[in-house]
Amino acid sequence: MEFRYLAGYFERLEATSKRLEMFDILAKLFREASHDEIAEIIYLSQGVLLPPFYGLEIGMSEKLLTRALSDAAGAPTKKVEELFRHTGDLGLAAGELIKGSGRLTVSAVYKELRDIAETSGVGSVEKKIGLLSSLLKGVSSPEAKYIARFVIGRLRLGIGDPTVLEALALSEGERSLRPELERAYNLCSDLGLIAKTLKSKGIEEIKGFKVHVGYPIRMALCERVPSSEDIIKKMGEAAIEAKYDGFRCQVHKDGDKIEIFSRNLERTTHMFPEIREAARKHFTAKEAIFEGEALAYNEATGELFPFQVTMQRKRKHGMEAATKEYPLKFFAFELLYADEEDYTEKPYIKRREKLVSLIEKNPVIEPAEMFVTDDPKRIYTYFEEAIERGLEGVIAKRLDSRYAAGARNFNWIKLKRSYKGELADTVDVSIVGYFRGKGARARFGLGALLGAVYDPKTDTFMTISKIGSGFTDAEFSKLREMLDEIALKHRHPRVDSVMEADTWVEPRYVVTVMADEITRSPSHTAGRDKDGTGYALRFPRAVGFIRPDKNPEDANTVKEIIGMFEAQKKVKAG
Ligand code: ATP
């Protein structure tokens, strides 16, 4: 396929705000793509070169793009800057400046962009500019527009992963294929690989899709209930594990090669050198995938530190100091693959047995605390004790359940501290915009955030709350800076809102919000019924800063909010 043809599709996608129309346009595009270019087309339309877990970034700023454009168009940088100021979009500026014939294929453009991304080391900035400028020289105006937006991360066609899965199923003329595609995607997190497999080998291959070491498995999550009695009612006899408040890691071991992925499937291997070492030496399978929670702890007292302390590892620099100051423990709680056996389909109790048998005694990795019981009192006593020790609560796991990749269901149930009459848990929202605010706050230019929850069915974000408290002054001004980097002229195509934010932003950041309760409200779109009444948070306040371990799609879902509202009604009645 020629790249200008793909650019034509991008124009059509950009022109619609209707989700169904978008699915149809994408389905048609996928149908026309050949099996050796479909992966590239999917990545490009999502604004990336590879799935995010590869961590490959193109590394171009507006400034570098401006120089490349000036070079390609033979125009002074001043002219490019002026066009940018005038249009507010370097993509439009590129479209005005570049007017080549455009005969490159999608694969050729993709390869050039990959080359730019992979250029590093001494003199790489000049090399990147040179490569981009020579790519731009040959392309037509609409192609230049999208290439320019792509390289600075501003493509924003609003194509989330569920949208791609839906369109892929439609492209085969069969919506009912979606669950199979989703299952395979949950096992490898690579939409390009799924699409390529589907196109070249057909749906049977997708049905038999297995986990691959090196490809992160989308993580299983918990449902919640208010009490230990409810756990036993739901599960009968269950495994009870401590809920550690640290950093979830999925460890992939391939001989001596170790990779570690975070909760939102980013490659975080560099953050945990001691887990890497321990997995290499003391995890006795040759090839394996296992999960656990990494926590900083005090060597002298054995006390576990809270999440915020563990998170200081996120800084790439000073890792050595962090390793010394806050040594880590890794509590392993799941085995997903070991020496050619896929454990995701095996019952919990088998996974656990094998997991324990693979860990040699060592100072870093140990199995998570666990016992099996059908006695709610015993769970409660353990829960209280866990809270006392600074843990977050407990997680109950159904003994005969498989590992539900990418799903939140009752195979795992969490129990956290809750207060009668108050909302039993915090809510994670994605920031979709902000308000300038009045009074003292106005000096930061940011007085409140507009928070939204996620609806995986439509792949959109629906607003639920204005959050104006819980941040310090310094955090407010930092937030303003971070949000202005991702500000938009209009509401993002994946955001559904009746409120008009002063500034709209791309859904990228998640914050955790505490509230007194969930109420019905016409001001928000989450869970809106036919009368236009949605759900809102009463007295919302942020806890902590941005959640670096969550993607916008990891915000709570509309369905969960409705579930929490129903649970709250029961508590009130009780
Ligand atoms: P939370 O804000 O409560 O962590 P979440 O959406 O990240 O919410 P949950 O589904 O509530 O995730 O809880 C699962 C998380 O709990 C896991 O992602 C993991 O990080 C953590 N965890 C701690 N101990 C365990 C354990 N023993 N088994 C599974 N997950 C555990």
pLDDT, tens digit, 9 for 90 and up, residues 30-81: 999 999 999 999 999 999 999 999 989 898 999 999 999 999 999 999 999 9
Band of residue 316 on the pLDDT scale cut at 50, 70, 90: low
Residues 126/22, Cβ–Cβ less than 8 Å: no
Q: Which atom of ligand 1 is nearest to the CA of 428?
A: 2
Long-range contact set of residues 30-35: C-beta below 8 Å, sequence gap at least 24: 30/167, 30/168, 30/171, 30/195, 31/171, 32/1, 33/1, 33/199, 34/1, 34/199, 35/196, 35/199, 35/200
Ligand 1 centroid to residue 393 C-alpha, Å: 10
Cα of 451 to ligand 1 centre, how many Å? 22
Cα separation of 564 and 224, whole Å? 9
In terms of DSSP bridges, do strands 247-254 and 257-261 run parallel, antiparallel, or are they unpaired? Answer: antiparallel
66, 112, 60: which is closest to 90 by C-alpha?
66
Closest atom of ligand 1 to CA, residue 368: 27
Q: Among 3-7, 202-206, 568-572, which is the least confidently predicted range?
A: 568-572
From 218, 223, 244, the mutation candidate for ligand 1 (largest count of ligand atoms within 8 A of CB) is 244
Give the pairing type, strands 365-367 and 221-224.
unpaired
Rounded to the nearest whole angstrom, what is the distance from the C-alpha of residue 416 to the centroid of ligand 1? 11
Q: What is the pLDDT of residue 529?
A: 92
Query: Could you give the CA distance from residue 181 to residue 233 in angstroms, rounded to a whole number?
Result: 33
pLDDT tens digits, residue range 127-152? 999 999 999 998 999 999 999 999 99
Instruction: Using pLDDT thresholds of 50, 70 and 90, give the confidence band for residue 313.
Output: low
Give the residue with greater pLDDT, 168 vs 441. Answer: 168
pLDDT at position 419, please?
40
- Of all protein residues, the one whose alpha carbon is nearest to atom 26 of ligand 1 is 243
Q: What is the CA radius of gyration of the chain?
A: 25
Contacts of 162 (CB under 8 A, 6+ apart): 456, 457, 459
Ligand 1 binding site (Cβ under 6 Å of any ligand atom): 221-222, 241-244, 248, 263, 293, 333, 368, 395, 414
Confidence class for position 418, pLDDT limits 50, 70, 90: low
Give the C-alpha separation, 451 to 456, whole Å.
16
Nearest ligand 1 atom, CA 219? 18
Between CA 254 and CA 283 the distance in angstroms is: 11
Residue spans per domain, the chain: 221-419, 426-573
What phi and psi, each to the nearest 5 degrees, are found at residue 118?
A: -85, 0
Query: How far lies 447's CA from each of 424, 468, 537, 562, in Å?
Result: 27, 6, 17, 28
pLDDT higher for 321 or 7? 7
* 420 pLDDT above the threshold of 90: no
The mean per-residue pLDDT over the stretch 232-248 comes to: 95
| Residue closest to 279 by CA, chosen among 369, 370, 403, 366 | 366
Element (H, E) at 350: helix 348-358
Q: Model-level pTM?
A: 0.84
Under CATH, what is the fold of the domain 426-573? OB fold (Dihydrolipoamide Acetyltransferase, E2P) (2.40.50)
The predicted pLDDT at position 51 comes to: 95
Do β-strands 408-416 and 221-224 pair in parallel, antiparallel, or remain unpaired?
parallel
Torsion of CA 485, 488, 493, 497, to 10 degrees: 100
Residues identified as active-site: 243
User: By the 8 A CB rule, do 178 and 169 touch?
Assistant: yes
CA distances from 463 to 434, 449, 471, 533, 561 (A): 12, 11, 20, 12, 12
- The pLDDT of residue 303 is 78
Q: What is the structure's pLDDT at 102? A: 81
Tens digit of each residue's pLDDT (9 = 90 or more) over 354-408: 999 999 999 999 999 999 999 999 999 999 888 878 788 899 999 999 999 999 9
Q: Which pair of structure tokens corresponds to residue 53?
A: 């877990």
* From 329-333, 372-376, 385-389, 535-539, the region with the lowest mean pLDDT: 385-389
262-301 pLDDT per residue, tens: 999 999 999 999 999 999 999 999 999 999 999 988 877 7
pLDDT over 80 (residue 425): no
User: Which CATH number among 3.30.470.30, 3.40.50.2300, 3.20.20.70, 3.90.245.10 corresponds to the domain 221-419?
Assistant: 3.30.470.30
For residue 182, give the 3-state DSSP assignment.
helix
- pLDDT at position 215 is 97
pLDDT at 421: 40
